[in-house]
Each structure stands twice: as structure tokens, then as C-alpha cells.
């Protein structure tokens, strides 16, 4: 007998309703995952907030910055354990900035993850390998697996930040040649350095939002920081690429000695285009060596079977007939 359901519903109606809700949910999830999101408005809004913060810091340099009024339990835990008093805090902030995490709470969340993830992963490892007996490991193997979970939790935040920084820097490196060409055009049009960086940041936004962040932030710091060289050096620190270092050195020399900006940028753009061409030729030269192993594994065996297979079958038939 089917159980009594309210409103006169039957078990079939309940199953049909749940199936319909599941189908609608799957359609909405697929539709939401296929939507192309434009990150440029949010990034421009963040840059505008950074502009206001820099302006407030310049206009009121003696006022002490107040802490957040709504301090979460994560921040409280980090402050109680004194995790932000280490010597490597500045380097951690720089690594997070290279990965694109420049918010005020990024360092707090990272330090809390470094503290909490080993404990959490160790507890999960003990529960899975020793409590539930996953994979039927011996006692020593379960203990080693639990210890490996703790080590994985300890290094997971660092690996995540490092991987994010590498991907972000690689995207910036690919977009630099076009950005340099746009800088040459803007400089030849008579724009100043601040206006050039701001204009190029807006133009490369749809193709490389990461470069938009860095150039936009450099333009804001050039506008508000008292030391313009420090703003340019900050760009080189956030993007550890030789091309960006060369750009910063050229801009510093231009600011110091008054050399023409367009000529310097034109030389840099030509060198960068030549470097990109050399890199493409290097990849093309490595292609035969890279394709050797797939050819041996996936192309040669079927080729041998097609060519030598009929002869081998014919010889086998002759031996059987004898």
C-alpha cells in the first residue's frame, strides 16, 4: 500500500514532481554554466574603489586606517594566533597579489587556510583510513595515509596560489605584445604616460582582464602616489616578467632623463615581437621531437598491422594446411 500523502497526492505524483524539479534544475545549471560572463565591469569597479582609497590616503596621510568593524571569526582566529606577525607576511602579500588576490582579507584567509586545512585534512584522513577502514589498509598504512593528508592540507594553499599566479602571468605574457603596440600608438598620439596606461588597460580588457588590472592599478598609483618610480617598480614586482621589467626600466629612464616615450616604446615593441616570433619558431622546431612518441605509440602499430597483417595471416594459413 502506498503511504498516505497530503492534498490527495499519490506516490506516482510525488516521483513525477521530483523528476520534474530535477530536470528543471539540470537545465538551469547547464544554462548558467554556459553563460559568458564579462569580468570587465567588476574589475573597473574594483579599480575605481582602489582610486578612491588611494585618494583618501593621499589627502589624509596622518589618519590611521581603522580596522574592519565586522571582524569575522576567521580574522579573530588569525589575530589570536598571531599568524600575521611573521617576517614573510610581505612576501605572502606579494605572492597573493601576483595571483590576483589583492583584497584586504586575502592574506587573512590564506593564513587561516594554512592553519586549518592540515587539521581538517588530518581529521578526514583519520576518519576515512582508520575509522571507516577505506581501502582496507594496514595500521601503518592508514597512519601514513593520514599523515599524507595532513601534508597535503599544509601545502594545498601554497600550491593553489602558485598555480594561479603562474596561469595569470602566462596570460599577461601572451597579451603583452599587443599592449606594447597600443602603447606606441598612444604615445605617438601625444598622450601622457598615465593616460597611455589607462587607455591601453581599457582596450585590452576584453582579451586579457588580468593585464587590465595591472595596467589600471599602475595608472592609478602613478596618479596618486608621490613617488612615480615606486609605482612603476610595483608593477614590475606584481608581474615578474622580463618584458615588464624592461618596460619599467624604460619608463623610469624616460621619466628621469626626458627621453621620447614613443621611441623607447617602439624599440621595446619591436624586441617583443621578435621575441614572440623566436618563441614560435622554437615551438615549431620542437614539434617533430614531440610528435615522435605519439607516432610510435599510435600510428606505427596500426600501420604495421595493415601492411603486414594479410601476409602474416596468409603464412599462418599455409602452416595450418601443411
Query: Has residue 175 got a pLDDT over 90?
Result: no
* H-only helix segments in the chain: 11-34, 40-59, 73-81, 89-98, 106-125, 139-188, 193-203, 209-224, 228-238, 242-257, 261-294, 300-321
261's grid cell: 616615450
- pLDDT tier, 58 (very low <50, low <70, confident <90, very high otherwise): very low
**Residue-level pLDDT at 116:** 87
Among 34, 43, 37, 36, which residue's Cα sits nearest to residue 205? 43
Query: Has residue 74 got a pLDDT over 80?
Result: no
- pLDDT tier, 11 (very low <50, low <70, confident <90, very high otherwise): low
Instruction: Give the pLDDT mean for 227-252.
Output: 86
- DSSP track, 86-103: STTHHHHHHHHHHTT--S
* Angle (CA) 171 175 180, round 5°: 145
Give residue-wise pLDDT tens across range 259-310.
787 888 888 888 888 888 888 888 888 888 888 888 888 888 888 888 888 8
Give residue-wise pLDDT tens across range 203-232.
888 888 888 888 888 888 888 777 888 888
Query: Has residue 65 got a pLDDT over 60?
Result: no
CB 98 within 8 A of CB 160: no
- DSSP track, 49-117: HHHHHHHHHHH-TTSPPPPPSS--HHHHHHHHHTGGGSTTHHHHHHHHHHTT--STTHHHHHHHHHHHH
**Residue-level pLDDT at 67:** 38
Range of lowest pLDDT (42-46, 75-79, 277-281, 283-287): 42-46
Distance CA 143, CA 146 (A): 5
CB 98 within 8 A of CB 240: yes
Range of lowest pLDDT (46-60, 93-107, 247-261, 279-293): 46-60
**Residue-level pLDDT at 311:** 85
Among 146, 150, 152, 80, which residue's Cα sits nearest to residue 119? 150
The segment with the largest mean pLDDT, out of 50-54, 55-59, 197-201, is 197-201
C-alpha pair distances (Å), 91 with each of 98, 165, 200, 238: 11, 14, 29, 11
Among 209, 213, 215, 208, which residue's Cα sits nearest to residue 186? 215
Claim: this prediction has a pTM higher than 0.95: no
- pLDDT tier, 70 (very low <50, low <70, confident <90, very high otherwise): very low
Query: Has residue 317 got a pLDDT over 70?
Result: yes
Give residue-wise pLDDT tens across range 247-261.
888 888 887 887 787
* Angle (CA) 28 29 34, round 5°: 100
Rounded to a whole number of angstroms, the CA Rg of the chain reads 30
Amino acid at each position: 500500500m502506498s503511504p498516505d500523502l497530503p492534498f490527495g497526492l499519490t506516490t506516482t505524483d510525488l516521483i513525477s514532481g521530483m523528476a520534474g524539479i530535477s530536470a528543471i534544475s539540470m537545465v538551469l545549471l547547464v544554462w548558467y554554466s554556459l553563460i559568458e560572463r564579462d569580468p570587465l565591469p567588476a574589475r573597473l569597479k574594483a579599480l575605481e574603489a582602489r582610486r578612491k582609497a588611494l585618494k583618501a590616503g593621499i589627502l589624509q596621510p596622518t589618519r590611521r586606517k581603522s580596522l574592519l568593524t565586522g571582524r569575522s571569526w576567521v580574522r579573530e582566529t588569525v589575530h589570536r594566533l598571531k599568524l600575521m606577525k611573521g617576517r614573510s607576511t610581505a612576501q605572502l602579500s606579494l605572492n597573493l597579489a601576483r595571483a590576483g588576490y589583492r583584497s584586504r582579507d586575502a592574506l587573512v584567509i590564506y593564513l587561516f587556510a594554512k592553519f586549518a586545512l592540515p587539521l581538517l585534512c588530518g581529521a578526514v584522513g583519520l576518519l576515512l583510513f582508520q575509522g571507516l577502514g577505506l581501502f582496507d589498509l594496514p595500521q601503518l598504512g592508514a597512519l601514513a595515509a593520514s599523515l599524507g593528508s595532513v601534508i597535503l592540507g599544509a601545502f594545498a594553499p601554497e600550491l593553489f596560489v602558485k598555480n594561479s599566479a603562474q596561469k595569470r602571468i602566462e596570460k599577461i605574457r601572451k597579451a603583452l605584445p599587443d599592449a606594447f603596440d597600443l602603447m606606441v600608438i598612444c604615445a605617438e598620439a601625444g598622450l601622457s604616460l598615465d593616460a597611455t596606461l589607462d587607455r591601453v588597460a581599457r582596450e585590452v580588457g576584453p582579451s586579457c582582464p588580468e593585464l587590465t588590472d595591472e595596467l589600471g592599478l599602475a595608472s592609478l598609483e602613478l596618479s596618486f602616489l608621490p613617488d612615480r618610480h615606486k609605482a612603476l617598480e610595483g608593477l614590475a614586482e606584481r608581474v615578474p616578467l622580463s618584458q615588464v621589467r624592461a618596460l619599467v626600466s624604460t619608463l623610469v629612464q624616460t621619466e628621469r632623463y626626458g627621453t621620447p616615450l614613443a621611441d623607447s616604446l617602439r624599440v621595446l615593441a619591436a624586441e617583443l615581437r621578435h621575441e614572440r616570433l623566436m618563441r614560435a619558431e622554437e615551438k615549431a622546431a620542437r614539434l617533430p621531437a614531440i610528435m615522435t612518441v605519439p607516432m610510435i605509440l599510435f600510428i606505427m602499430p596500426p600501420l604495421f598491422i595493415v601492411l603486414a597483417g594479410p601476409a602474416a595471416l596468409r603464412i599462418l594459413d599455409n602452416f595450418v594446411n601443411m
